[in-house]
Amino acid sequence: MTRLHRQPICVASALLVPLLQLLAPNWLSLDGVGPSWAVLWLLPWALVDGPVSGAVAGAALGLVLDGLSIGEISQVPALVLMGWWWGRIGRRGSPIQRSFNIGLLAWIGALVLGLSLWLQLQLMESSAAFLQGWALHTTLSQALVTGLLAPLVGSWQLLIWRRRVPA
């Protein structure tokens, strides 16, 4: 049985995430906030490849994205948690096929990621009360754009990756 993490083209697709993060297409943003590309890539990966691979992919992707930022907060904890959770859903439940389900899972993942970043920021800065409105706006905008884009991107990735991995 060939798994996704053993196929170079699938692993190489992860390189699109930092590239899209840096490019930040303006036409895919809501009030200047774009989608969470990490969530959009990790969701189908974990659903197809399982919880361990999802958690490892989340950690690797989080480390790469953290390397692109200057701040002290990290995306790794949320991406590892979401990769593991989505992998368990993919293994234990019936296959996720409906676009609404993919959009909802991506929306939840973007919310968890945004809240994780906000919580880390709160713990590191004692006088960050002024950031609460900004963090809420950014988290909700990113979750909305991610949830709306996920049925298109996630369904396409699931279709391709499920064909590459025999059941």
pLDDT at 126 over 80: no
pLDDT at 116 over 50: yes
For the chain, which residues make up each domain, given as ranges?
A: 4-164
In the chain, where do the E strands start and end?
none
pLDDT (mean) for 139-148: 90
Cβ–Cβ < 8 Å for 87, 58:
no
> By 3-state DSSP, what share of the chain in percent is helix, strand and coil, each rounded to 5?
80, 0, 20
* Token duo for residue 162: 């499920």
The helix or strand, by DSSP H or E, that contains position 107, with its residue range, turns out to be: helix 99-124
Q: What is the CATH code for 4-164?
A: 1.10.1760
Contacts of residue 28, Cβ cutoff 8 Å, sequence gap at least 6:
34, 35, 145, 149
Contacts of residue 120, Cβ cutoff 8 Å, sequence gap at least 6:
72, 73, 74
Task: Look at 36-45, 52-61, 86-95, 144-153 and tell me which has the smallest mean pLDDT.
Answer: 86-95
Segment 18-75, tens digit of pLDDT = 887 888 777 777 777 889 999 999 999 998 888 998 999 999 999 999 998 877 889 9
Segment 48-61, tens digit of pLDDT = 888 998 999 999 99
The model carries a pTM of 0.86
- Residue 2: the pLDDT is 45
